[in-house]
Amino acid sequence: MLFFLHIFFRKARIPKMFNYRKLVQSNKAFRRLMSTTTEELIIQEKNNVGLITLNRPKALNALTLSMIHSMHPKLEQWEKETNSVKLVLVKGAGGKAYCSGGDIRAITQERGGSMQKQFFRDEYKLDHLIGTLKIPYVALLNGIVMGGGVGISVHGTYRICTENTMFAMPETGIGLVPDVGGAYFLPRLNGSLGMFLGLTGHRVKGRDCLHAGIATHSVDTEAIPDLEKEILNNPEDIDTILTEFTEKSNFGKDKGFSLDENMKSINSIFSAGSVEEIMSRLGDDGTEFSAKTLKTLKRASPSSLKVAFRQITEGKRLNTLAECLNMEHRLVTRCCENDDFYEGVRALLIDRDNKPKWNPATVEEVSAELVDSYFKELPADQELNL
């Protein structure tokens, strides 16, 4: 759920022991995650449309806890007021991102603390509400969509991509798992595409989001103002409006799905019964694509890879988004208790040496017992229980 772009994180050391400095840092982190002005999240009602604008363009519209706390009750209110609000439209300000995730510095500076736990718990509750909302929820995915941005879009009724859309779930690269409901939607993509995306963090751009099943519709960036106007004027005609704008959108129409030529290999390789077997098949395949993919997997946290593999496999048999989020809440809680998450953040986002020292260091060293420990139930008062 965390946004992954290195340049937007200033250097900050993760505290290693409890002392005054840690207390100050964690309190600052808590205030940064909680504090927001009304400008960070613009909520409006226009012509029976509930309009939410994520308005932190300098932070690529990353979510704060306060933004989550503002969105959730407002969506609940609109769901009850169906006579006045027929549809919800969510977009990001600035043109560079829909939403790139959460505030990773705030989350990692209070290891295992109450703020950290509250963020994930409340984020997942919001994701579940979006996935079960009784009025149409339209996410305009113009720009970067990562981590938490995936959670507040992909479970909605409509997801509209543009030529600027860049979707990815790169969590295994920082010692996490593809959460925010990844266990639900990833295994429901065609073939083994979801397992490939969840383990590798591969970036899906533009119309590829439509081909992959991540987006439901498309619109040219220059036509976004016209699309918004049509939605605001005729929210009851949302299906017709989105179909018409998709048919008129031109970006990428002369190209097929960029992964088409690799889908046979993806389906064959990523349907294997273990991460070790996936990596073995990639090594045996002999193609440039497989070599590049294997290199990507070798850079990721071995523990995260094996937990994510089981997460996506389990998600395929689970029936509801709620069940998947309940499971992921356990997984992320355990990620926050173990070292790889903090080491991944240090190596990729803080020191930026790109040399994380994972523990265990290889997938072969990740025991079944360790993987099992991530999936065990939490104490009753800590379960998400959606």
The set of catalytic residues is 102, 148, 171, 179
Taking every pair of C-alpha atoms in the chain, what is the biggest distance, in angstroms? 60
- Provide the sign of the torsion angle of the four alpha carbons 347, 282, 331, 120, taken in this order: positive
Tokens of 327: 């499971």
Q: Nearest to residue 331, comparing CAs of 321, 341, 342, 344?
A: 341
Sign of torsion over alpha carbons 75, 221, 59, 343: positive
CB-based contacts of 345, cutoff 8 Å, min separation 6: 14, 104, 108, 174, 175
* Separation CA 274–CA 294 (nearest Å): 14
CB atoms within 10 A of CB 204: 24
Distances (CA, A) of 296 to 78, 183, 257, 292: 43, 21, 21, 6
3-state secondary structure of 45: strand
DSSP of 287-307, one letter per residue?
A: SHHHHHHHHHHHHS-HHHHHH
Residue 221 main-chain phi, psi, to 5 deg: -55, -40
Instruction: List the alpha helices (DSSP H) in the chain.
Output: 20-34, 65-80, 104-108, 114-132, 148-151, 182-185, 193-200, 208-212, 224-233, 238-248, 263-269, 275-285, 288-299, 302-317, 321-337, 339-345, 368-375
Q: What are residue 45's DSSP bridge partners?
A: 50
Phi-psi region of 175 (alpha: psi -120 to 50; beta: other; left: phi over 0): left
